Structure 1
Amino acid sequence: MDLLIYSPDIVSVGVVDCFSSLRWRRKYFEPGEFELHCAATADNLETLAQGNIIHRLDRREAGIIEGVVVGESTAGDEEITVTGRMGSCLLCQRIITPTINYSGTVEIGMRKVVSDNAITARPIANLTLGVAQGYPETCAFQATGKNVQTTLTALAKASGFGYIARLDVPGRQWVFEVYKGSDKSVIQTTGPYVLFSDEFGNITGPQYTYNEQAFKNYAYVAGEGEGSARVIIEVDQTGGEPRREMWVDARDLQKGELTDAQYRAQLTQRGLEKLAEAARSESFEAAAVSTANFEYITDWNLGNIVSFEKWGILLNRRITEVEEVYENSVVTITPVCGTPLPETLDLGDDV
């Protein structure tokens, strides 16, 4: 595998065609990350510089080098280790200002957040919008002073969308796009399914995780006002289950010239986003073995809804992460299906 290296201005600076290890972690709701280990040669030290871009012709994502470490490997050889995140991490460099009041489709809302704060105003170099896909899902939100990337992730999780900043080398630009993986679970009937199971012999080292410690399904969202005059709406996602309540302080959402209905819609959206963050942690991950039945990238990919079956458990969930590891001539592909436990568990309610 050749890793094509570009400068921050997307000008070719070299190729890395030999490395000891590459970890390429793709994510659906936020920027993925990578870690590359290779010999500390003069060429690699010059090429793998902070800010440079690692591009693979076989993947839509490209990574931006954010960390560089040079030292001795466990084998005693001099080694360079570079780490970073995928291109959409550029959006963490901007906050939302001035205030956005938006009602419409989620896709156009996400594009507006990027355009207003990183393209038409305070532009991020080489960033542009891709073609809108016309997804019909809607939302209403108000945001100011929020991080652009964090806002995109909240909207994505609440609606089931993914987003990416795709590297367009010929155009020398990063292309922001919103996308939605298709349903390939065993319970849908519109197309072929994808099933990871012992029956198909396409998983090794499976692990099922369930945790509802931080789970909430009913939100009280408090907007502007004081005391009994404070605007409070309720968002119910119990679906017949016992209620598990949370309080959401949305005082930053101001009614201004909005109608009552518009303001309540924005408060509802905030509640949906917070409930999405407080979802049950239920995930299934395993080292997937590519077979003639279900080939990675061709038959299943990041964002698809697929099925995992093991220990009498059938889980039909979206693939939210795929970790690819290339080491010692061995390739391991590990999909994570469902909602994994957050790397940092926050049980604190808004106040």
Structure 2
Amino acid sequence: MDLLIYSPDIVMQGTVDCFTSLRWRRRYFEPGEFELHCAATTDNLALLAPGNIIHRIDRREAGIIEGVSVSENNGTEEITVTGRFGSCLLCQRIITPTINYTGTVEDGMRKVVSDNAITARPVDRLTLGATQGYAETCTFQATGKNVQTTLTALAKASGLGYIARLDVPNRRWAFEVYKRADKSVTQTAGPYVLFSDEFGNITGPQYTYNEQAFKNYAYVAGEGEGSARMIVEVDQTGGEPRRELWVDARDLQKGELTDAQYQAQLTQRGLEKLAEAARAESFEAAAVDTANFEYLTDWNLGDIVSFEKWGLLLNQRITEVEEVYENSVVTITPVCGTPLPETLDLGDDV
């Protein structure tokens, strides 16, 4: 595998064609990350500089080098570079001035990017890619929020993914929203994808479940004081016992909005917070390509698939895929569902 190295202004610098290890971690709702280990040669030290771009022609993502370390062990010098994929550029901007939006989620995400990283305070070489016309809708108000964090909240609430794709011929990053298919065993629109012992396509499976931070009913409090404060309730119990969450949304201002428009924005905030407070349930395993289910051909990041093991059947979206290339061995590990967050967040205080 050749890794093509570009400068920050997307000019070809050279190729890294020999490395000891590459971890390429793709994510659907937020930027992925990578870690590369290779010999600390003069050429590699020059190529793998902070800000340079690692591009693989076999993947849509490209990585921006953010960390570099060089070490020596038993006479062997090694360089390690780390970073995130191109959409991490959007963490460099906040939303200002305030956006009041009602419409499709895709157009809303594009507006957040355009208003804060392209038409105003442009991120170098960032553009909008083609629109796909997805039907999911939302209503939101945002100001002072990080652009990337906002995109991730909208993505998780709607099931859409996003990417900043490296467009080498035009020397640009193209921001695009995308959506993958439901390929679980419960759908009948097309072929299903099932990871199970029966199909012999998983090794080292691991299942986790935690509902400590799970909430399914939100009280979203907007502007006002005491009994005059506007509060909407968002019910996602679906017949389950209620687990309540308080969301302080005082930052959302009514202004010239009608009551209905303002309530819709509060409801959207509630949906986003409940998405963050979902059950942590995930299944991950090293995937083995078979004649039935081949990575990138039959299944990909963002697809909803089925995992079956230990009497459990989990039909959920593949939110991460970790690719590891080491010692001529390739390991592909999909993560299906909602992993337990690294930092437990029990929601907003009153």
Map Cα deviations across residues 244-264 of structure 1 (whole Å, 9 max, x no partner): 001000000000000111000
Alignment of 1:103-252 (within 5 A): 103-252=102-251
User: Residue 7 of structure 1 aligns with which residue?
Assistant: 7
| Deviation, structure 1 residue 292 | 1.5
User: Residue 93 of structure 1 aligns with which residue?
Assistant: 92
| Deviation, structure 1 residue 346 | 1.9
For structure 1, the residue ranges without an aligned partner over 5 or more in a row are none
User: Residue 70 of structure 1 aligns with which residue?
Assistant: 70
| Deviation, structure 1 residue 350 | 3.0
2: distance between equivalents of 1:350 and 1:293?
A: 49
| Deviation, structure 1 residue 349 | 3.4
| Deviation, structure 1 residue 343 | 1.6
User: Residue 306 of structure 1 aligns with which residue?
Assistant: 305
The 8 Å contact of residues 247 and 347 in structure 2, kept in 1 or not, is answered as no
SS at match of 1:113: helix
The 8 Å contact of residues 273 and 347 in structure 2, kept in 1 or not, is answered as no
2: distance between equivalents of 1:15 and 1:350?
A: 51
TM, length-normalised to structure 2: 0.99
User: Residue 21 of structure 1 aligns with which residue?
Assistant: 21
Question: Which amino acid in 2 is paired with 1:46?
Answer: A
2:277 is equivalent to residue 296 of structure 1: no
2: distance between equivalents of 1:291 and 1:329?
A: 19
2: distance between equivalents of 1:268 and 1:350?
A: 18
Map Cα deviations across residues 278-330 of structure 1 (whole Å, 9 max, x no partner): 00001000000111111100110000000000011010000000000000000
User: Residue 58 of structure 2 aligns with which residue?
Assistant: 58
Question: Which amino acid in 2 is paired with 1:51?
Answer: G
Question: Which amino acid in 1 is paired with 2:69?
Answer: V
Map Cα deviations across residues 4-47 of structure 1 (whole Å, 9 max, x no partner): 00000000001000000000000000000000000000000000
SS at match of 2:265: helix
The 8 Å contact of residues 91 and 146 in structure 2, kept in 1 or not, is answered as yes
SS at match of 1:274: helix
2: distance between equivalents of 1:157 and 1:178?
A: 12
What is the total number of aligned residue pairs between the two structures?
350
2: distance between equivalents of 1:345 and 1:77?
A: 40
Question: Which amino acid in 1 is paired with 2:83?
Answer: G
Question: Which amino acid in 1 is paired with 2:100?
Answer: N
2:253 is equivalent to residue 264 of structure 1: no
SS at match of 1:213: coil
Identity, in percent, stands at 88
User: Residue 325 of structure 2 aligns with which residue?
Assistant: 326
2: distance between equivalents of 1:236 and 1:77?
A: 59
The 8 Å contact of residues 248 and 348 in structure 2, kept in 1 or not, is answered as no
2: distance between equivalents of 1:67 and 1:350?
A: 35
| Deviation, structure 1 residue 191 | 0.5
For structure 2, the residue ranges without an aligned partner over 5 or more in a row are none
1: distance between equivalents of 2:199 and 2:166?
A: 35
The 8 Å contact of residues 3 and 56 in structure 2, kept in 1 or not, is answered as yes
Map Cα deviations across residues 159-195 of structure 1 (whole Å, 9 max, x no partner): 1111000000001000000011100111110111100
Question: Which amino acid in 1 is paired with 2:23?
Answer: R
1: distance between equivalents of 2:4 and 2:66?
A: 16
Map Cα deviations across residues 56-96 of structure 1 (whole Å, 9 max, x no partner): 000000000000001124x5410000000000000000000
Question: Which amino acid in 2 is paired with 1:328?
Answer: N
2: distance between equivalents of 1:342 and 1:4?
A: 33
SS at match of 2:131: coil
Runs of 4+ in 1 over 6 A off after TM superposition: none
1: distance between equivalents of 2:18 and 2:126?
A: 30
SS at match of 1:338: strand
Map Cα deviations across residues 115-136 of structure 1 (whole Å, 9 max, x no partner): 0000000000110111111111
1: distance between equivalents of 2:322 and 2:75?
A: 27
SS at match of 1:272: helix
User: Residue 345 of structure 1 aligns with which residue?
Assistant: 344
1: distance between equivalents of 2:132 and 2:279?
A: 30
SS at match of 1:297: coil
2: distance between equivalents of 1:76 and 1:54?
A: 27
